[in-house]
Amino acid sequence: MQTRPDIKQRMHSILFYLLLAAAVLMMGWLSQRHLLVWDWSDNARNSLSETSMALLERLDSPLKITCFAPENSQLRLQISEFISRYQRHSAGIRFEFLDPAQHPALIRELGIRVSGELRLEYAGRSENLSQIDEQSISNAIQRLLLQSERWILAIEGHGERRFDRQANHDLGQFGSELKKKGFRLQPVDLSAQQRIADNADVLVLAGPQTGFLPGETKLIVEYVKQGGNLLWLLEPNDLSDTLQPLADLLRLTLLPGTIVDASGAGLGLDDPALALVASYPDHPATRQMESLTLYPHAAALEYLPADDWQITPLLQTQPLSWNESGPISGEI
């Protein structure tokens, strides 16, 4: 006759073997699964941004990354861990190390200059990269994804803001970021042109301070009529009459005055001429924008419906904002 302790001990034995069998089966199942990695670090610093992951989704052929670093070096381990972030999101990335000491001729041929330098190769295009961080690598991938050179033509000759200068009123930082993305910037003087170049991906008109000749305005209007992309940056009260034909074509009116936003006072902003934008439409130009943005001394636009244009407002201010045509002073 079995006593209660005997039965209890037997049950414990059976339970132990059942748990052991379950553990073995679970290990076998896991061995057939893909490795999953969770990032518990502060701000997910060991993960890729959504922008980088979106870039990797655009890869339609293998991306080869070669790192030139000495064997058995700590540098290899650090770089390998970093590149693995990209490999976790794209099976098309092939990564390898080469020892510079073993390949001196190749080093000279490829122009490798520093230990740890990367060479990225994609679809017959290549680029060397000595700075290893997510922004640099993702920018390099974006440049390699471009099928051909992308040209941005910036109109000059009327006091426009410059992409190649660093003065406060210029757009030098913006120009530098565009170059990092693989765009080519070229100033263009319309007074010396018979037409705008066919290879222009975007024509930029950035805050001209003086008027345009009729022939210059006509060039811009014809470019837009033919489907060209135009980025037109304006200051308050700064639409020259010589550009009115362009505004008429686009069905746009620059309202007089400057946008004043009283909602900034609740956020501790002392300057009422800072316009706040808190939400954005689902549009490629604003899809990555989530944070509150400020626009100092901004101008308001009014547009009319057009049969041949689809107009999409991208930035709209808060309800406590208005267009102030008088002096901005006193209590708001």
* Exposure letters 273-296 (e unless 16+ CB within 10 A, then b): bbbbbeebeeeeebeeeeeeeeee
Average pLDDT for the chain: 84
Tokens describing residue 167: 């003065």
pLDDT at 77: 94
What are the tens digits of pLDDT across the range 301-329? 999 888 877 888 999 999 999 988 888 77
Residues 178 and 245 in one domain: yes
Residue 221 forms part of a structural domain: yes
Query: Residue 14: inside a domain, yes or no?
Result: no
Tens of pLDDT along 34-44?
A: 333 333 344 44
The reply to whether 69 and 139 lie within a common domain is yes
Which pLDDT score is estimated for 37? 36
Edge-to-edge strand list for the sheet holding 63-68: 93-98, 63-68, 117-122, 125-129
Q: Are 161 and 206 in contact (CB under 8 A)?
A: yes
Structure tokens at 169: 């009123």
| Average pLDDT score over residue span 236-241 | 84
pTM higher than the cut 0.75: no
Cα(162)–Cα(160) distance, rounded to whole angstroms? 6
244 and 156 part of one domain: yes
Q: What pLDDT, on a 0 to 100 scale, did the predictor assign at position 125?
A: 84
Same domain, 153 and 227: yes
**Where does a domain end: 250, 268, 301?**
250
Give the tens place of pLDDT for each residue, 201-224: 999 999 999 999 999 999 999 999
We report the CATH number of the domain holding residue 170 as 3.40.50
φ/ψ of residue 270, rounded to 5? -85, -20
**By residue range, what is the domain housing residue 190?**
148-250
Strand-pair partners of 98: 68
pLDDT beyond 50 at 292: yes
Residue 236 has pLDDT above 90, yes or no: no
Q: Residue 39: inside a domain, yes or no? A: no
- Mean pLDDT for 274-280 is 92
Cα–Cα distance between 20 and 27 in angstroms, integer?
A: 11
Predicted pLDDT at 30? 38
Residue 23 forms part of a structural domain = no
